[in-house]
A and B are shown apart, each in its own frame.
Chain A
Amino acid sequence: GENVEQHPSTLSVQEGDSAVIKCTYSDSASNYFPWYKQELGKGPQLIIDIRSNVGEKKDQRIAVTLNKTAKHFSLHITETQPEDSAVYFCAASKAGGTSYGKLTFGQGTILTVHP
């Protein structure tokens, strides 16, 4: 089955710096890659996603890049703010097939933004 590795497990940055979280996946048939942010006491919140026919996607301070050949995708957060502090999860799935509702998640990155 699919395996998703996420690095680093913890990331500490100063406010205003950029943060990068990286994930690799094992199944070349995976074609949908969402990123989730989870704050304490809440469920994961979808912040951005990318499909395999796109190499990069941006939404304000957040961007995701995908390298299908290397089976690698990354989350980039620019101009970090203290409210960006949370646990971030990457995930992969084979959308459009029979993997209904199934995302394979990375182990998570605890991001801390210091004021």
Chain B
Amino acid sequence: KAGVTQTPRYLIKTRGQQVTLSCSPISGHRSVSWYQQTPGQGLQFLFEYFSETQRNKGNFPGRFSGRQFSNSRSEMNVSTLELGDSALYLCASSLTGPGDEKLFFGSGTQLSVL
């Protein structure tokens, strides 16, 4: 079974631009979560989607948004990029239901904002 796939692996953008990152979950997984990883702040939760609905979100500004499609694939968008948005963005998928708390992460998209 294929793992979580994230594209692209690397992105370079300039301040003020916007960016869209893509995530394909493990087949059969309907929940997709996004995390930001930086050396200073570590791994921080952005938001979670299930059945095309955002069920949970972390403490990030409104410039960070996401969506999920009917096939469970997800995208996240960051508008008006700032230098501090440079990070590894990780997507994780999971089954849903009692006892299905395990999150499986992709390899991430490394975003550099210049």
Contacts and interface: CB of A to CB of B under 8 A. Distances in A.
Interface of A: 32, 34, 36, 41-46, 49, 89, 91, 93, 95-96, 98-108
Interface in B62-114: 90, 92, 94, 98, 101-108
Given A44-B43, A107-B42, A32 B101 contact: yes
Contact of A101 (B4, B56, B106, B108): B56
Contacts of A100: 31, 33, 48, 50, 55-56
Interface string B34-69: 000000001111011010000110100000000000
Interface residues of B, number: 26
Contacts of A103: 43, 45, 103
A56 to B, nearest CB: 18
A43 B33 contact: no
Interface of B: 4, 31-33, 42-45, 47-48, 50, 55-56, 58, 90, 92, 94, 98, 101-108
Q: Is the interface of A mostly helix, strand, loop or mixed?
A: loop
A49 B104 CA distance: 12
Nearest to B32: A101
B107 A46 contact: no
Given A43-B90, A102-B58, A95 B101 contact: yes
Nearest to A49: B102
Contacts of A89: 42-43
Contacts of B55: 98, 100-101
Nearest to B9: A41
Given A42-B107, A44-B105, A46-B104, A98 B43 contact: no
B56 A93 contact: no
A102 B56 contact: yes
